[in-house]
Structure 1
Amino acid sequence: MTQVTETGVPIVTAGAEVGGLRARKKARLREELITIALRLFEQQGFEETSVQQIADTAQVTRRTFHRYFPSKKYVVFGHEEGVMAEVFAALERRPVGESALTALRGALRDYLLDPDAASERQHQADTARRARQLLHANPTLRGENFALAMTREQALAQRFAARAGLPADDLGPQLLAACCFAGLGVAQDHWMRGTDHSLAALHQALDHTLAIMQDGIDIPAEPNSDR
Protein backbone atom coordinates (compact mmCIF):
# COMPACT_ATOMS: atom_id res chain seq x y z
CA MET A 1 0.00 0.00 0.00
CA THR A 2 1.22 3.51 -0.76
CA GLN A 3 1.12 6.03 2.09
CA VAL A 4 0.71 9.75 1.46
CA THR A 5 2.52 12.06 3.85
CA GLU A 6 1.29 15.36 5.26
CA THR A 7 3.06 17.10 2.37
CA GLY A 8 1.26 15.02 -0.21
CA VAL A 9 4.36 13.11 -1.34
CA PRO A 10 3.66 9.40 -1.78
CA ILE A 11 5.94 7.11 0.18
CA VAL A 12 6.11 3.38 0.70
CA THR A 13 7.07 2.21 4.15
CA ALA A 14 8.30 -1.20 5.23
CA GLY A 15 5.46 -3.37 6.51
CA ALA A 16 2.85 -1.42 4.56
CA GLU A 17 1.26 -4.65 3.37
CA VAL A 18 0.60 -7.96 5.05
CA GLY A 19 3.04 -10.37 3.48
CA GLY A 20 5.26 -7.41 2.70
CA LEU A 21 6.82 -8.62 -0.57
CA ARG A 22 5.15 -6.09 -2.86
CA ALA A 23 5.69 -3.27 -0.37
CA ARG A 24 9.37 -4.15 0.03
CA LYS A 25 9.85 -4.15 -3.75
CA LYS A 26 8.26 -0.70 -3.95
CA ALA A 27 10.37 0.58 -1.08
CA ARG A 28 13.56 -0.73 -2.71
CA LEU A 29 12.70 0.89 -6.04
CA ARG A 30 11.89 4.19 -4.34
CA GLU A 31 15.25 4.16 -2.57
CA GLU A 32 16.99 3.21 -5.80
CA LEU A 33 15.39 6.15 -7.61
CA ILE A 34 16.55 8.52 -4.87
CA THR A 35 20.10 7.12 -4.91
CA ILE A 36 20.37 7.27 -8.70
CA ALA A 37 18.89 10.76 -8.93
CA LEU A 38 21.20 12.19 -6.27
CA ARG A 39 24.21 10.66 -8.00
CA LEU A 40 23.19 12.17 -11.34
CA PHE A 41 22.54 15.54 -9.71
CA GLU A 42 26.04 15.47 -8.22
CA GLN A 43 27.67 14.43 -11.46
CA GLN A 44 25.99 16.78 -13.92
CA GLY A 45 23.87 19.23 -11.93
CA PHE A 46 20.23 19.34 -10.87
CA GLU A 47 18.95 21.43 -13.77
CA GLU A 48 20.89 19.37 -16.32
CA THR A 49 19.40 16.06 -15.14
CA SER A 50 16.04 15.05 -16.56
CA VAL A 51 13.39 12.72 -15.19
CA GLN A 52 13.90 10.57 -18.28
CA GLN A 53 17.60 10.15 -17.48
CA ILE A 54 16.77 9.08 -13.93
CA ALA A 55 14.17 6.61 -15.16
CA ASP A 56 16.47 5.22 -17.87
CA THR A 57 19.32 4.72 -15.40
CA ALA A 58 16.96 2.93 -13.02
CA GLN A 59 15.62 0.90 -15.97
CA VAL A 60 12.02 1.95 -15.37
CA THR A 61 9.57 4.03 -17.37
CA ARG A 62 8.96 7.73 -16.83
CA ARG A 63 5.44 6.80 -15.78
CA THR A 64 6.83 4.51 -13.08
CA PHE A 65 9.03 7.33 -11.81
CA HIS A 66 5.99 9.56 -11.44
CA ARG A 67 4.19 6.93 -9.39
CA TYR A 68 6.74 7.68 -6.68
CA PHE A 69 7.58 11.35 -7.20
CA PRO A 70 5.53 14.20 -8.76
CA SER A 71 8.73 15.75 -10.17
CA LYS A 72 12.49 15.43 -9.87
CA LYS A 73 12.73 18.00 -7.09
CA TYR A 74 10.70 15.71 -4.83
CA VAL A 75 13.46 13.11 -5.11
CA VAL A 76 15.68 15.49 -3.13
CA PHE A 77 13.01 15.87 -0.44
CA GLY A 78 11.66 12.33 -0.65
CA HIS A 79 14.12 10.70 1.70
CA GLU A 80 13.17 13.12 4.47
CA GLU A 81 9.48 12.33 4.07
CA GLY A 82 10.13 8.66 4.75
CA VAL A 83 12.49 9.39 7.64
CA MET A 84 10.08 11.81 9.30
CA ALA A 85 7.24 9.30 9.01
CA GLU A 86 9.35 6.75 10.90
CA VAL A 87 10.57 9.28 13.49
CA PHE A 88 6.97 10.36 14.12
CA ALA A 89 6.02 6.71 14.58
CA ALA A 90 8.89 6.30 17.07
CA LEU A 91 7.69 9.45 18.86
CA GLU A 92 4.20 7.95 19.23
CA ARG A 93 5.75 4.90 20.91
CA ARG A 94 7.50 6.92 23.63
CA PRO A 95 6.01 6.81 27.16
CA VAL A 96 3.14 9.25 27.56
CA GLY A 97 4.67 10.78 30.69
CA GLU A 98 7.75 12.09 28.88
CA SER A 99 8.07 15.78 28.04
CA ALA A 100 8.13 16.79 24.38
CA LEU A 101 11.91 17.13 24.09
CA THR A 102 12.61 14.02 26.17
CA ALA A 103 10.27 12.04 23.92
CA LEU A 104 11.82 13.46 20.75
CA ARG A 105 15.35 12.68 21.95
CA GLY A 106 14.24 9.15 22.78
CA ALA A 107 12.51 8.74 19.42
CA LEU A 108 15.62 9.84 17.51
CA ARG A 109 17.77 7.50 19.58
CA ASP A 110 15.38 4.58 19.01
CA TYR A 111 15.26 5.29 15.30
CA LEU A 112 18.91 6.06 14.53
CA LEU A 113 20.55 3.51 16.81
CA ASP A 114 18.23 0.57 16.13
CA PRO A 115 20.70 -2.36 15.98
CA ASP A 116 18.38 -4.35 13.73
CA ALA A 117 18.39 -1.61 11.07
CA ALA A 118 21.97 -0.32 11.27
CA SER A 119 22.76 -0.82 7.58
CA GLU A 120 19.49 0.78 6.44
CA ARG A 121 19.94 3.71 8.82
CA GLN A 122 23.49 4.37 7.60
CA HIS A 123 22.25 4.37 4.03
CA GLN A 124 19.53 6.83 4.98
CA ALA A 125 22.09 9.03 6.73
CA ASP A 126 24.36 9.02 3.68
CA THR A 127 21.39 9.92 1.49
CA ALA A 128 20.41 12.74 3.86
CA ARG A 129 23.94 14.15 3.76
CA ARG A 130 24.07 14.14 -0.04
CA ALA A 131 20.61 15.68 -0.33
CA ARG A 132 21.50 18.41 2.16
CA GLN A 133 24.67 19.21 0.24
CA LEU A 134 22.54 19.60 -2.88
CA LEU A 135 20.13 21.91 -1.05
CA HIS A 136 23.00 24.12 0.08
CA ALA A 137 24.20 24.41 -3.51
CA ASN A 138 20.78 25.17 -5.03
CA PRO A 139 18.82 28.22 -3.76
CA THR A 140 15.69 27.23 -5.68
CA LEU A 141 15.58 23.83 -4.02
CA ARG A 142 16.17 25.43 -0.63
CA GLY A 143 13.09 27.56 -1.16
CA GLU A 144 11.00 24.57 -2.14
CA ASN A 145 12.25 22.60 0.84
CA PHE A 146 11.36 25.47 3.17
CA ALA A 147 7.72 25.21 2.15
CA LEU A 148 7.69 21.45 2.80
CA ALA A 149 9.53 21.91 6.10
CA MET A 150 6.74 24.18 7.31
CA THR A 151 4.29 21.32 6.85
CA ARG A 152 6.54 18.89 8.71
CA GLU A 153 7.00 21.48 11.46
CA GLN A 154 3.22 21.78 11.88
CA ALA A 155 2.94 17.98 12.04
CA LEU A 156 5.49 17.91 14.88
CA ALA A 157 3.72 20.77 16.67
CA GLN A 158 0.44 18.84 16.54
CA ARG A 159 2.12 15.81 18.09
CA PHE A 160 3.68 17.92 20.83
CA ALA A 161 0.29 19.51 21.55
CA ALA A 162 -1.46 16.12 21.70
CA ARG A 163 1.21 14.76 24.05
CA ALA A 164 0.68 17.70 26.42
CA GLY A 165 -3.10 17.80 26.10
CA LEU A 166 -2.98 21.31 24.62
CA PRO A 167 -5.01 22.79 21.75
CA ALA A 168 -3.45 22.24 18.32
CA ASP A 169 -3.05 26.00 17.86
CA ASP A 170 -1.31 26.59 21.21
CA LEU A 171 1.76 28.80 20.82
CA GLY A 172 4.01 26.61 22.98
CA PRO A 173 4.04 23.46 20.80
CA GLN A 174 4.32 25.57 17.64
CA LEU A 175 7.31 27.48 18.98
CA LEU A 176 8.99 24.31 20.26
CA ALA A 177 8.51 22.51 16.94
CA ALA A 178 9.97 25.49 15.05
CA CYS A 179 12.97 25.55 17.40
CA CYS A 180 13.45 21.80 16.98
CA PHE A 181 13.54 21.97 13.19
CA ALA A 182 15.92 24.94 13.25
CA GLY A 183 18.17 23.27 15.79
CA LEU A 184 18.21 19.89 14.08
CA GLY A 185 19.09 21.63 10.80
CA VAL A 186 22.09 23.25 12.49
CA ALA A 187 23.09 19.86 13.89
CA GLN A 188 22.83 18.18 10.49
CA ASP A 189 24.98 20.88 8.90
CA HIS A 190 27.59 20.46 11.64
CA TRP A 191 27.63 16.71 11.04
CA MET A 192 27.68 17.12 7.26
CA ARG A 193 30.71 19.44 7.34
CA GLY A 194 32.65 17.21 9.71
CA THR A 195 34.81 14.21 8.92
CA ASP A 196 32.84 11.59 10.86
CA HIS A 197 29.66 10.73 8.97
CA SER A 198 28.71 7.73 11.08
CA LEU A 199 25.29 7.19 12.61
CA ALA A 200 26.80 7.61 16.06
CA ALA A 201 28.19 11.02 15.11
CA LEU A 202 24.85 12.07 13.61
CA HIS A 203 22.96 11.00 16.71
CA GLN A 204 25.46 12.77 18.94
CA ALA A 205 25.04 16.03 17.01
CA LEU A 206 21.24 15.85 17.01
CA ASP A 207 20.95 14.81 20.65
CA HIS A 208 23.46 17.42 21.83
CA THR A 209 21.45 20.12 20.06
CA LEU A 210 18.19 19.03 21.70
CA ALA A 211 19.94 18.77 25.07
CA ILE A 212 21.10 22.39 24.74
CA MET A 213 17.53 23.41 23.95
CA GLN A 214 16.22 21.41 26.88
CA ASP A 215 18.67 23.08 29.29
CA GLY A 216 17.88 26.54 27.89
CA ILE A 217 19.55 28.16 24.90
CA ASP A 218 20.23 31.63 26.27
CA ILE A 219 24.00 32.35 26.32
CA PRO A 220 25.26 34.37 29.30
CA ALA A 221 27.68 37.25 28.91
CA GLU A 222 31.37 36.67 29.42
CA PRO A 223 32.19 36.67 33.18
CA ASN A 224 33.71 39.90 34.49
CA SER A 225 33.15 41.58 31.13
CA ASP A 226 33.15 45.39 31.14
CA ARG A 227 31.60 45.63 27.67
Structure 2
Amino acid sequence: MTAPTGLREREKARVRGELIDAALLLFEHRGFEQTTVQEIADAAHVSRRTFHRHFPSKTAVVFAHEEDVMAHLLAALDLRPPTEAVFAALRAALRDFLLDDSQTELRRRQADTARRARLVLITNPQLRQENFTGAFGRRDALARNFAHRGGLPEDDLRAKLAASTCFSAFGVGLDHWVTQPDPSVHGLYEILDNTVAALQHGLEIDSATGSAAS
Protein backbone atom coordinates (compact mmCIF):
# COMPACT_ATOMS: atom_id res chain seq x y z
CA MET A 1 0.00 0.00 0.00
CA THR A 2 2.93 2.37 0.59
CA ALA A 3 3.92 2.77 -3.06
CA PRO A 4 0.42 3.54 -4.40
CA THR A 5 -0.16 5.99 -1.55
CA GLY A 6 3.14 7.72 -2.33
CA LEU A 7 2.22 7.91 -6.02
CA ARG A 8 -1.17 9.41 -5.21
CA GLU A 9 0.40 12.03 -2.97
CA ARG A 10 2.95 12.96 -5.62
CA GLU A 11 0.20 13.23 -8.24
CA LYS A 12 -1.88 15.44 -5.96
CA ALA A 13 1.15 17.66 -5.33
CA ARG A 14 1.85 17.85 -9.07
CA VAL A 15 -1.71 18.90 -9.93
CA ARG A 16 -1.79 21.38 -7.05
CA GLY A 17 1.47 22.94 -8.24
CA GLU A 18 0.24 23.18 -11.83
CA LEU A 19 -2.99 24.85 -10.69
CA ILE A 20 -1.02 27.41 -8.68
CA ASP A 21 1.33 28.13 -11.60
CA ALA A 22 -1.54 28.43 -14.08
CA ALA A 23 -3.55 30.70 -11.79
CA LEU A 24 -0.68 33.06 -11.02
CA LEU A 25 0.21 33.34 -14.72
CA LEU A 26 -3.40 34.22 -15.57
CA PHE A 27 -3.64 36.69 -12.69
CA GLU A 28 -0.45 38.34 -13.94
CA HIS A 29 -1.64 38.69 -17.54
CA ARG A 30 -5.41 39.13 -17.15
CA GLY A 31 -5.86 40.40 -13.60
CA PHE A 32 -7.19 38.60 -10.56
CA GLU A 33 -10.79 39.80 -10.85
CA GLN A 34 -10.99 39.02 -14.56
CA THR A 35 -9.76 35.43 -14.20
CA THR A 36 -12.31 32.67 -13.56
CA VAL A 37 -11.90 29.31 -11.86
CA GLN A 38 -12.84 27.60 -15.13
CA GLU A 39 -10.04 29.42 -16.95
CA ILE A 40 -7.55 28.29 -14.32
CA ALA A 41 -8.75 24.69 -14.62
CA ASP A 42 -8.56 24.84 -18.41
CA ALA A 43 -5.02 26.26 -18.32
CA ALA A 44 -3.93 23.41 -16.02
CA HIS A 45 -5.77 20.86 -18.22
CA VAL A 46 -8.04 19.65 -15.41
CA SER A 47 -11.74 19.91 -14.68
CA ARG A 48 -13.39 22.54 -12.52
CA ARG A 49 -14.26 19.72 -10.12
CA THR A 50 -10.57 18.82 -9.83
CA PHE A 51 -9.74 22.45 -9.11
CA HIS A 52 -12.20 22.47 -6.21
CA ARG A 53 -10.74 19.25 -4.82
CA HIS A 54 -7.55 21.26 -4.23
CA PHE A 55 -8.83 24.78 -3.56
CA PRO A 56 -12.17 26.19 -2.36
CA SER A 57 -11.72 29.37 -4.43
CA LYS A 58 -9.29 31.23 -6.65
CA THR A 59 -8.40 33.38 -3.64
CA ALA A 60 -7.11 30.28 -1.84
CA VAL A 61 -4.69 29.65 -4.71
CA VAL A 62 -2.86 32.91 -4.00
CA PHE A 63 -2.39 32.00 -0.34
CA ALA A 64 -1.55 28.33 -0.88
CA HIS A 65 2.11 28.96 -1.61
CA GLU A 66 2.64 30.80 1.68
CA GLU A 67 1.07 27.91 3.57
CA ASP A 68 3.35 25.42 1.81
CA VAL A 69 6.47 27.50 2.42
CA MET A 70 5.60 28.01 6.09
CA ALA A 71 5.24 24.24 6.54
CA HIS A 72 8.71 23.71 5.03
CA LEU A 73 10.22 26.52 7.12
CA LEU A 74 8.78 25.13 10.35
CA ALA A 75 10.19 21.72 9.46
CA ALA A 76 13.63 23.29 8.89
CA LEU A 77 13.30 25.17 12.18
CA ASP A 78 12.55 21.95 14.05
CA LEU A 79 15.82 20.51 12.75
CA ARG A 80 17.91 23.27 14.32
CA PRO A 81 19.71 22.45 17.62
CA PRO A 82 17.46 23.05 20.64
CA THR A 83 20.18 25.21 22.22
CA GLU A 84 19.75 27.96 19.60
CA ALA A 85 17.70 31.04 20.48
CA VAL A 86 14.62 31.61 18.34
CA PHE A 87 15.90 34.31 15.99
CA ALA A 88 19.28 32.60 15.54
CA ALA A 89 17.47 29.33 14.79
CA LEU A 90 15.10 31.07 12.38
CA ARG A 91 17.96 32.67 10.44
CA ALA A 92 19.70 29.31 10.20
CA ALA A 93 16.46 27.59 9.14
CA LEU A 94 15.97 30.18 6.39
CA ARG A 95 19.51 29.48 5.18
CA ASP A 96 19.06 25.71 5.35
CA PHE A 97 15.74 25.89 3.51
CA LEU A 98 16.42 28.50 0.83
CA LEU A 99 20.05 27.70 0.08
CA ASP A 100 19.77 23.90 0.07
CA ASP A 101 22.16 22.84 -2.71
CA SER A 102 20.28 19.59 -3.22
CA GLN A 103 17.05 21.46 -4.03
CA THR A 104 18.36 24.34 -6.15
CA GLU A 105 15.88 24.02 -9.03
CA LEU A 106 12.92 23.43 -6.71
CA ARG A 107 13.82 26.49 -4.64
CA ARG A 108 14.18 28.55 -7.82
CA ARG A 109 10.65 27.56 -8.89
CA GLN A 110 9.32 28.24 -5.41
CA ALA A 111 10.92 31.68 -5.40
CA ASP A 112 9.38 32.46 -8.80
CA THR A 113 5.97 31.37 -7.47
CA ALA A 114 6.44 33.46 -4.33
CA ARG A 115 7.31 36.51 -6.42
CA ARG A 116 4.24 36.11 -8.63
CA ALA A 117 1.96 35.55 -5.64
CA ARG A 118 3.33 38.59 -3.82
CA LEU A 119 2.82 40.79 -6.87
CA VAL A 120 -0.83 39.67 -7.01
CA LEU A 121 -1.24 40.63 -3.35
CA ILE A 122 0.47 44.00 -3.78
CA THR A 123 -1.85 44.95 -6.64
CA ASN A 124 -5.04 43.75 -4.91
CA PRO A 125 -5.70 45.50 -1.54
CA GLN A 126 -8.72 43.31 -0.77
CA LEU A 127 -6.66 40.16 -1.29
CA ARG A 128 -3.95 41.56 0.91
CA GLN A 129 -6.42 42.15 3.71
CA GLU A 130 -7.74 38.60 3.36
CA ASN A 131 -4.18 37.27 3.48
CA PHE A 132 -3.54 39.25 6.66
CA THR A 133 -6.55 37.59 8.27
CA GLY A 134 -5.69 34.15 6.95
CA ALA A 135 -2.11 34.42 8.18
CA PHE A 136 -3.20 34.14 11.81
CA GLY A 137 -2.94 30.35 11.71
CA ARG A 138 0.59 30.43 10.27
CA ARG A 139 1.63 33.10 12.77
CA ASP A 140 0.26 31.05 15.67
CA ALA A 141 2.10 27.94 14.44
CA LEU A 142 5.35 29.93 14.48
CA ALA A 143 4.54 31.26 17.96
CA ARG A 144 4.01 27.72 19.26
CA ASN A 145 7.33 26.69 17.71
CA PHE A 146 9.09 29.61 19.43
CA ALA A 147 7.41 28.84 22.75
CA HIS A 148 8.43 25.18 22.56
CA ARG A 149 12.03 26.12 21.72
CA GLY A 150 12.14 28.51 24.68
CA GLY A 151 10.49 26.09 27.11
CA LEU A 152 7.57 28.49 27.49
CA PRO A 153 3.79 27.97 27.66
CA GLU A 154 2.12 28.00 24.24
CA ASP A 155 0.28 31.21 25.09
CA ASP A 156 3.42 33.05 26.25
CA LEU A 157 3.23 36.72 25.23
CA ARG A 158 6.90 36.94 24.21
CA ALA A 159 6.57 34.02 21.80
CA LYS A 160 3.43 35.54 20.29
CA LEU A 161 5.09 38.93 19.95
CA ALA A 162 8.22 37.44 18.37
CA ALA A 163 6.14 35.47 15.85
CA SER A 164 3.93 38.45 14.99
CA THR A 165 6.99 40.64 14.53
CA CYS A 166 8.58 38.02 12.28
CA PHE A 167 5.48 37.87 10.12
CA SER A 168 5.48 41.64 9.71
CA ALA A 169 9.19 41.55 8.89
CA PHE A 170 8.70 38.79 6.32
CA GLY A 171 5.96 40.85 4.65
CA VAL A 172 8.21 43.92 4.48
CA GLY A 173 11.06 41.79 3.18
CA LEU A 174 8.95 40.14 0.47
CA ASP A 175 7.52 43.47 -0.65
CA HIS A 176 11.06 44.84 -0.91
CA TRP A 177 12.29 41.76 -2.79
CA VAL A 178 9.67 41.93 -5.54
CA THR A 179 10.68 45.53 -6.32
CA GLN A 180 14.37 44.63 -6.71
CA PRO A 181 16.08 43.70 -10.00
CA ASP A 182 17.45 40.47 -8.49
CA PRO A 183 14.67 37.82 -8.41
CA SER A 184 17.00 35.02 -7.30
CA VAL A 185 16.60 32.73 -4.30
CA HIS A 186 19.86 34.08 -2.93
CA GLY A 187 18.53 37.62 -3.23
CA LEU A 188 15.41 36.59 -1.33
CA TYR A 189 17.50 34.89 1.36
CA GLU A 190 19.70 37.96 1.85
CA ILE A 191 16.68 40.21 2.33
CA LEU A 192 14.84 37.87 4.71
CA ASP A 193 18.00 37.17 6.68
CA ASN A 194 18.58 40.90 7.08
CA THR A 195 15.03 41.42 8.32
CA VAL A 196 15.36 38.72 10.99
CA ALA A 197 18.85 39.97 11.90
CA ALA A 198 17.35 43.42 12.50
CA LEU A 199 14.84 41.88 14.89
CA GLN A 200 17.55 39.81 16.54
CA HIS A 201 19.86 42.75 17.20
CA GLY A 202 17.32 45.51 17.77
CA LEU A 203 15.67 48.13 15.60
CA GLU A 204 16.67 51.38 17.28
CA ILE A 205 17.59 54.01 14.63
CA ASP A 206 19.94 56.74 15.81
CA SER A 207 19.20 60.36 15.08
CA ALA A 208 21.01 61.76 12.05
CA THR A 209 22.17 64.71 14.18
CA GLY A 210 23.50 62.81 17.17
CA SER A 211 23.34 59.66 19.23
CA ALA A 212 20.02 58.23 20.32
CA ALA A 213 18.56 59.56 23.51
CA SER A 214 19.28 57.36 26.50
**Range class of TM-score, shorter chain:** over 0.9
Where do 4+ consecutive residues of structure 1 move more than 2 Å?
16-22, 222-225
Q: Distance in 1 between matches of 2:26 and 2:196?
A: 34
Are positions 1:46 and 2:32 aligned together?
yes
TM-score, structure 1 as length reference: 0.88
Match of 1:24 in 2: 10
Q: Please, which of 115, 118, 126 is the counterpart of residue 101 of structure 2?
A: 115
Q: Distance in 1 between matches of 2:64 and 2:3?
A: 20
Match of 1:7 in 2: none
Structure with the bigger RCO (C-alpha within 8 Å, sep 6+) is 2
- Structure-2 change in CA distance of 1:200 and 1:224 (3 Å): same
Unaligned runs of 5+ in 2: none
Q: Please, which of 111, 132, 137 is the counterpart of residue 125 of structure 1?
A: 111
Match of 1:64 in 2: 50
Q: Distance in 1 between matches of 2:58 and 2:84?
A: 39
Deviation at 1:140, TM superposition (A): 1.2
- The alignment covers a number of residue pairs equal to 210
**Residue-by-residue CA offset, 1:174-198 (whole Å, 9 max, x unaligned):** 1111111111111111111000111
Deviation at 1:224, TM superposition (A): 3.4
Q: Distance in 2 between matches of 1:201 and 1:224?
A: 33
Are positions 1:83 and 2:69 aligned together?
yes
Are positions 1:94 and 2:80 aligned together?
yes
Are positions 1:142 and 2:115 aligned together?
no
Q: Distance in 2 between matches of 1:202 and 1:50?
A: 31
1:20 match: secondary structure: helix
Q: Which amino acid counterpart does residue 6 of structure 2 have in structure 1?
A: G
Match of 2:171 in 1: 185
Give the RMSD, CA atoms, in angstroms: 1.6
Q: Distance in 2 between matches of 1:148 and 1:112?
A: 24
Q: Distance in 1 between matches of 2:54 and 2:65?
A: 12
Structure with more helix by fraction:
2
TM-score, structure 2 as length reference: 0.94
Q: Distance in 1 between matches of 2:168 and 2:157?
A: 17
Match of 2:152 in 1: 166
Q: Distance in 1 between matches of 2:33 and 2:208?
A: 47
